[in-house]
Amino acid sequence: MTNNPHISVQHLNVQIGNQEILKDITINIPNKKVISIIGPSGCGKTTLLKSFNRLLDDTADVKITGKVLVDGENIYDPKAEVTHIRKKMGLLSQRPYPLPMSIYDNVAYGPRLHGKPKKTELDELVETQLKATGLWNEVKDRLHAPATRLSIGQQQRLCLARGLAVEPEIILGDESTSALDPVSTSIIEDLFIKLKEKYTIVLVTHILRQARRVSDYIIFVYMGRIIEFGPTEELLLNPKEELTKEYVKGYIS
Partner 1 sequence: MIRRKIEENFFRVLMVLATVIVAGSFFLIVGTIFYKGVPFMNLDMITKIPGGGFYIGKEGGVLNAIVGSLYVAGGATILGLAISIPVAIFINMYLDGKNFIANSLRIAFDVLFGIPSIVYGAFGFLIMVYFGIKASLLGGIVAVTLLVIPILVRTLDEVIITVPKELRDASLSLGATRWEMSKVVLRQIRPGIFTAVLLSFGRAIGDVASVLFTAGFSDNIPTSLHQPAATLPLAIFFQLGSPVEEVQGRAYASALILTIVVLIITVLSSLLSKRFSKNKIQ
Q: Which of 3, 18, 41, 58 binds partner 1 (CB under 8 A)?
A: 58
Min. distance of Cβ 54 from partner 1 in angstroms? 9
For 147-181, b where at least 16 C-beta lie within 10 A, e where not — what string?
Answer: beebeebbbbbbbbbbbbbbbbbbbbbbbbbebbe
**Which of 2/148 has CB closer to partner 1?**
148
Give 209's contacts (C-beta < 8 A, 6+ positions apart). Answer: none
Q: At CB < 8 A and 24+ separation, what contacts does 206-209 make?
A: 206/38, 206/39, 206/40, 206/41, 206/175, 206/178, 207/177, 208/38, 208/236, 208/248
**Maximum pairwise Cα distance, the chain:** 57
**Which of 39/163 has CB closer to partner 1?**
163
DSSP SS3 for 85? helix
Q: How many CA atoms lie within 13 A of 82 on its CB side?
A: 8
Q: Which of 10, 13, 15, 59 binds partner 1 (CB under 8 A)?
A: 59
Choices 30-38, 105-113, 181-189, 232-240 (CB under 8 A): range interacting with partner 1: 105-113
Residue 147 interacts with partner 1 (CB under 8 A): yes or no: yes
Residue 86 interacts with partner 1 (CB under 8 A): yes or no: yes
Give how far the C-alpha of residue 16 lies from the chain's centroid of Cα atoms, to the nearest Å.
22
Min. distance of Cβ 152 from partner 1 in angstroms? 11
Residue 100 interacts with partner 1 (CB under 8 A): yes or no: yes
Choices 2-10, 37-45, 102-110, 202-210 (CB under 8 A): range interacting with partner 1: 102-110
Q: Please give the size of the binding site for partner 1, defined by CB under 8 A.
A: 36
Instruction: Give the number of residues written for the chain.
Output: 253
Residue 239 interacts with partner 1 (CB under 8 A): yes or no: no
Evaluated on CA atoms 35, 39, 42, 43, the torsion sign reads negative
Residue 26 interacts with partner 1 (CB under 8 A): yes or no: no
**Which of 61/242 has CB closer to partner 1?**
61
Choices 1-9, 92-100, 119-127, 224-232 (CB under 8 A): range interacting with partner 1: 92-100
Choices 33-41, 146-154, 192-200, 239-247 (CB under 8 A): range interacting with partner 1: 146-154
How far is the C-alpha of 112 from the C-alpha of 130, rounded, in Å?
17
User: What are the φ/ψ torsions at residue 18 (nearest 5 degrees)?
Assistant: -100, 5
**Which of 110/239 has CB closer to partner 1?**
110
Apex 236 CA angle, 216 and 221, nearest 5: 80
Q: Which residues bind partner 1 (CB under 8 A)?
A: 53, 55, 57-62, 83-84, 86-87, 89-91, 93-95, 97-102, 109-110, 113-114, 146-148, 159, 162-163, 166, 172
